[in-house]
């Protein structure tokens, strides 16, 4: 498995080695030892989640102010543009974002560590999206930053307005958000 640090080095893109022939393909989608070596610390995942969305749905930018979740995310059907935003106030990359295309075809995974807001937009007709998380979902601590906050300036690869949940539609600006100190 190839690990590629993104422009914000704590965020890592994983490219698996895929072995294929006329029968189909095989690849190792996760290896705890390799993962821990790449991120530089032992990581324990406690919850797996799966979502299905249709084209134009944008989910995020989500995070938890307590019980922060690191997320290892991937797509098993369809394609998304996936984004991580550094919301660690003392970080030299605070307020900066990185993004990657994740698809069933490229089989890439993105590690979004604790201290980052996370979101994605669906580019295919539908998508099946998987998350491995380092802490449990805690709705009381969940927060959302607006997907289109000009201070962050994410370059989403679509035109028009995305489909948003009520929670995502009400996302706060980075300036007003609860962030990690």
- From first to last of its 181 residues, the chain has per-residue pLDDT tens of 899 999 999 999 999 999 999 999 999 999 999 999 999 999 999 999 999 999 999 999 999 999 999 999 999 999 999 999 999 999 999 999 999 999 999 999 999 999 999 999 999 999 999 999 999 999 999 999 999 999 999 999 998 899 999 999 999 999 999 998 7
CA-based torsion, 58, 172, 149, 75: positive or negative:
negative
pLDDT number for residue 1: 87
Structural domain includes residue 36 = yes
Structural domain includes residue 181 = no
Kind of pairing, strands 126-133 and 71-77?
antiparallel
Instruction: Pick the catalytic residue from 63, 108, 118, 131.
Output: 131
CA distances from 68 to 49, 71, 87, 121 (A): 15, 10, 12, 22
By three-state DSSP, how is residue 34 classified? helix
Residue 101 is part of a domain; what is its CATH number? Answer: 2.60.120.10
| Alpha-carbon Rg for the chain in angstroms | 16
Residue 49's domain spans which residues?
2-19+28-169
Using left for φ > 0, alpha for ψ between -120 and 50, and beta otherwise, residue 98 falls in beta
pLDDT number for residue 25: 92
pTM over the 0.75 mark = yes
62 is a catalytic site residue: yes
User: Of 24, 130, 141, 1, which Cα lies nearest the Cα of 73?
Assistant: 130
118 is a catalytic site residue: no
Instruction: Pick the catalytic residue from 62, 101, 141, 180.
Output: 62
Structural domain includes residue 179 = no
Instruction: Give the total number of structural domains in the chain.
Output: 1
Helix residue ranges per DSSP H, 4-117? 32-39
pLDDT number for residue 119: 98
Structural domain includes residue 174 = no
Structural domain includes residue 180 = no
Structural domain includes residue 6 = yes
């Amino acid at each position: 498995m190839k690990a590629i640090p993104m422009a914000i080095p704590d965020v890592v893109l994983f490219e698996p080695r895929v072995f294929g022939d006329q029968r189909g393909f095989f690849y190792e989608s996760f290896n705890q030892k390799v993962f821990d070596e790449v991120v530089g610390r032992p990581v324990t995942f406690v919850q797996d989640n799966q979502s299905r969305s249709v084209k134009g749905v944008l989910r995020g930018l989500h995070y938890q102010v307590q019980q922060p979740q690191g997320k290892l995310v991937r797509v098993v059907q369809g394609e998304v543009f996936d984004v991580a935003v550094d919301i660690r106030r003392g970080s030299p990359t605070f307020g900066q974002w990185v993004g990657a295309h994740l698809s069933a075809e490229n089989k890439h995974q993105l590690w979004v560590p604790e201290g980052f807001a996370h979101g994605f937009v669906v580019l295919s007709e539908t998508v099946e999206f998987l998350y491995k998380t380092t802490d449990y979902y805690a709705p009381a601590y969940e927060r959302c930053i607006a997907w289109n906050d000009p201070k962050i300036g994410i370059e989403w690869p679509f035109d028009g307005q995305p489909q948003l949940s009520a929670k995502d539609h009400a996302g706060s600006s980075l300036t007003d958000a609860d962030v990690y100190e």
